[in-house]
Amino acid sequence: MDIFEKCHKFRDADVVKEAGLYLYFRTISSAQDPVVTIDGKPVVMLGSNNYLGLTNHPEVKRAAQDAIAKYGTGCAGSRFLNGTLDIHIQLEERLAAFMNKPAAVTFSTGFQVNLGVISCLVERGDVVYLDKLDHACIIDGARLGFGSVVKYNHNDMEDLGRRLKVHDAKKAAFVVVDGVFSMEGDVVNLPELVRVAKPHGCRIMVDDAHSIGVFGAHGRGTAEHFGLEDEVDLVMGTFSKSLASVGGFVAGEERVINFIKHRARSLIFSAAAPPASVAAVLKAVEIIEREPERRERLWENTHFMAEGLRSLGFDTGESRSPITICGRSPRRAASRAPPSAAMTSASPQAASRSRSGARSSRGPLASTIDFWDIKPPPWAGGGWFACTLSHPSAGITRVRSCGSRA
């Protein structure tokens, strides 16, 4: 038996490619702007998490360039050993102040934050409670820990409550949940979660990857949005979305952050985030604080887009964020009965593709996630759009009118 046998047998991607419908690893030859270049043609970008339009901002780029000039291109080691620069420390202090938490620690990716934090906190005998639709890195972080994992139905706080009722009080309990669910675009029911979980002594961690810079009066995420910052023990965020870079952080109580710094394997055994990425985030935080109007424009675009899609008959599901579901959410489809007629209508992007059988410069680039073993295939519906503040309404109007042809 050859370990590669499964690879040689894997044909699903080839079948979709042969049908001219393959949507992944598309090559972009421009910056993450509202219009990007694909195959030399302009395409409206609606699959990017560049929510506040900062990845191509001149001040952010200059900060990254200056950091390269001063520190070079890499740290050549882990934060734990030789890789901690003064700007890592500055960024951690800046993020703690921004998040209104006593301390923060940064990692090289958001994925590594959840892997490291959850796996080191959840020890043998502890229990971590997860929403069934939590992000993959939350699930993987929990798998790496030695405690037990209990999953509750998506955003169903009654189900969480039922599970907590039978929780053994001698065991430490931890709930880790997405603030905004990255595939569905819906928002955690945090008030209910806090009400249900806190009486059991549960600690709460919110993954605000899609909410930092987007939710809350100051952009501090879903806990700020709901006025529950004191009840949420740990907040994690990534730098790869509103913060215009790559990396991630977790913010919370000093002693807990200190423990994570000395126990999280994805921090200790992985190279530090490079200087350019760190400096870009420092500048992005400054701009987010200085220009709250960016958030306002993002929400205007989000509402304009969602209302437009709904008026065209698309199902936007429970999306309440700049991630706007259009059609059918594939992960829901995996656990539910066949989609309704309304939900099988193809997304504008899929419609333009399936008609032309190839990339269409007319259709926008939205995102579709498919799991190969789920039928029907992705082009039967189920895309999501991510609005950013920098989409001129003309671009979104084009998407809306493209939708009317679907």
Residues near ligand PLP (CB under 6 A), total: 14
The answer to the question of residue 216 lying near ligand PLP (CB under 6 A) is no
The catalytic residue among 241, 283, 319, 321 is 241
Nearer to ligand PLP, 91 or 137 (CB): 137
* Alpha carbon distance 402, 406 (integer Å): 7
* Alpha carbon distance 229, 77 (integer Å): 34
Q: What's the min distance (Å) between Cβ of 208 and ligand PLP?
A: 8
212: nearest Cα among 135, 284, 264: 284
Q: What's the min distance (Å) between Cβ of 108 and ligand PLP?
A: 9
Nearer to ligand PLP, 46 or 351 (CB): 46
Nearer to ligand PLP, 92 or 178 (CB): 178
Q: What's the min distance (Å) between Cβ of 207 and ligand PLP?
A: 5
Which of 92, 131, 184, 207 touches ligand PLP by CB under 6 A? 207
Parallel/antiparallel/unpaired status of strands 103-107 and 127-131: unpaired
The answer to the question of residue 184 lying near ligand PLP (CB under 6 A) is no
The answer to the question of residue 182 lying near ligand PLP (CB under 6 A) is yes
318: nearest Cα among 309, 329, 308, 334: 329
Half-sphere exposure of 261 (CA within 13 A, CB side): 18
* Neighbour tally for 3: CB within 10 Å: 6
Q: What's the min distance (Å) between Cβ of 236 and ligand PLP?
A: 7
Angle at 110 between CA 104 and CA 116, to 5 degrees: 70
Among this protein's residues, is 241 annotated catalytic?
yes
Q: What's the min distance (Å) between Cβ of 3 and ligand PLP?
A: 27
* Alpha carbon distance 32, 287 (integer Å): 18
Q: What's the min distance (Å) between Cβ of 325 and ligand PLP?
A: 14
* Stretch 81-120: interaction string toward ligand PLP, x if CB under 6 A: ----------------------------xxx--x------
Among this protein's residues, is 182 annotated catalytic?
yes
The answer to the question of residue 314 lying near ligand PLP (CB under 6 A) is no
Which segment (3-11, 38-46, 115-123, 205-213) binds ligand PLP by CB under 6 A?
205-213
Enter the tokens of residue 40. 């030399």
Q: Contact, 396 vs 305, CB < 8 A?
A: yes
Q: What's the min distance (Å) between Cβ of 338 and ligand PLP?
A: 27
SS3 124: coil
Q: List, in sequence order, the alpha helices (H) in 157-292.
A: 157-165, 190-197, 222-226, 254-263, 265-268, 275-290
Kindly identify the residues of this chain, within the stretch 117-146, that bind ligand PLP according to CB under 6 A.
135, 137
With CB atoms as reference, the residue minimizing the distance to ligand PLP is 110
Kindly identify the residues of this chain, within the stretch 226-255, that bind ligand PLP according to CB under 6 A.
238, 240, 248
The catalytic residue among 48, 108, 119, 182 is 182
Written in H, E and C, the secondary structure of 281-348 is HHHHHHHHHHCCHHHHHHHHHHHHHHHHHHHCCCCCCCCCCCEEEECCCHHHHHHCCCCCHHHHCCCH
The answer to the question of residue 209 lying near ligand PLP (CB under 6 A) is yes
* Alpha carbon distance 228, 298 (integer Å): 23
Nearer to ligand PLP, 238 or 368 (CB): 238
Which segment (189-197, 202-210, 303-311, 388-396) binds ligand PLP by CB under 6 A?
202-210
* Cross-strand pairs, 206: 177, 235
* Neighbour tally for 332: CB within 10 Å: 18
Residues marked active site are found at 182, 210, 241
Contact residues for ligand PLP, defined by CB under 6 A: 109-111, 114, 135, 137, 178, 182, 207, 209-210, 238, 240, 248
